[in-house]
Amino acid sequence: MRSGWLPCVAMAAGALLLASCGSSSKSAFVYLVSQGASPGIVTTYKVNLGSGVLNSSNGALVQTGKSVNAGTQPTALLFDPTNSFAYTANFGSNDISLFTLSKDGTLAAASGTTALTNAAHPSAMAMDPGAHFLFVANQGQAATITNPVSIPGNVSVFAIGSGGALTEVGGSPFAIQETSPPLLFSPVAPFPSGVAVSHQGTFVYVSDQANSAVISFSFDSTSGGLTPIAEGCAQCFGVNVGTGPTALLSPPAGDFLYVANSSSNDIYEFAIDPNDGTLSPIQAKTTIIAAGVGPIAMTTDPAAKYFFALANGGSQVAAYTLNQVTGELTAITGAGGTVSTGANPVAFTLHSDGTLDGNFWLFVSNNGGSTVSTYSIQGTTGKLTALPQLTSPLAPYGIGSR
């Protein structure tokens, strides 16, 4: 039985969208999604910008204000680029929750949720840089005795209105193309696990975990409608990646796409053609790099100088340098290049420490251990230094900061 707990944000997915880096504000906050209650909740925690330490007592996080309800089994947490509102993807209740910011920095639930239409089990979200559209990867729902018609995985697209209000665009949800070549295996029902938007252009990429592929789309900047991009031949709509692709990332510099493969324990590195959005392996010594056991999320600093991969199975964060010309990742070696987290990390977020030397803090949500890990990132090397790990609400998942 497939589970929706592995895919994340990406952050990750698009995890960088969760960051608010270089802020001159004296107050900083981290927001944590918890699946340990029904419905799930989002809690807020103050960050000391001098030390990166989260507000705590006796080794446990101490929240600011009241928690706010999300839907059932919330996964990803995603802020808009201006940090004015946020969404959670609710895997169990098949909807999207919208939150606005209160004066004390906490989140407030907007009225109602946005239900998915002809889609189920949202696992990842991404937003275009202008915050015009929200793209949601849905894993679908297996047929049961009471529901004999299965819903194949697909992609929902919503127009973002005032205050973050969502309106589903015409044609949504959009199907994942099931083709033969260039995919290695005979196509089976698609199982979207991650989604990313290129930081330049109007291209969307979706990882299909069932077919070990990435499917490319262009989107209409006015309507938000998706059109599959042919890769290599007129009827080929996917490129092969490693097994168990789970997360995608297009960093804020260069035309590149990275794919974290949770079963083959690696990251595939692609160049994005800025004209048509097609993918090709980067021109470098290697196009595949090891990423620990079970990588499921990726992020970079705002300048895309350093790259970080979160390994769920190995409970680690690995740091790399990113060549902005070739797109090649190079592992940072020695102490601080790879660090241990709490059990089964699922998401992370990055925030400026408020100084001018370019240092940052990295906050990690550890689903298996019900903890949050914090690391300082040295601006000149990208190396990580662990701060005290803190107990969180039960089963934390998505995490964001502002």
- Rounded to whole angstroms, how far apart are CA atoms 172 and 160? 14
Q: What is the mean pLDDT of residues 295-310?
A: 96
pTM above threshold 0.85: yes
Kindly indicate the confidence band of residue 305, based on its pLDDT and cuts at 50, 70 and 90: very high
Strand partners, 62: none
Is residue 370 over pLDDT 90? yes
Instruction: Give the Cα separation of 192 and 247 in Å (integer).
Output: 10
Burial tier of 222 (Cβ tally within 10 Å: 0-12, 13-18, 19+): exposed
CB–CB of 373/323 below 8 Å? no
Instruction: Give the domain 15-401 fold.
Output: Methylamine Dehydrogenase; Chain H (2.130.10)
DSSP letter string, 158-197: EEE-GGG-EEEPTTPSEEPP---TTSSS---S--EEEEEE
Q: What is the pLDDT of residue 2?
A: 35
Mean per-residue pLDDT of the chain: 89
Per-residue model confidence (pLDDT) at position 187: 63
Q: What is the pLDDT of residues 233-248, one digit of tens each?
A: 666 678 999 999 999 9
Of 231, 232, 235, which is closest to residue 216 (Cα–Cα)? 231
More confident residue, 16 or 85: 85
Most confident region among 173-177, 232-236, 360-364 by mean pLDDT: 360-364
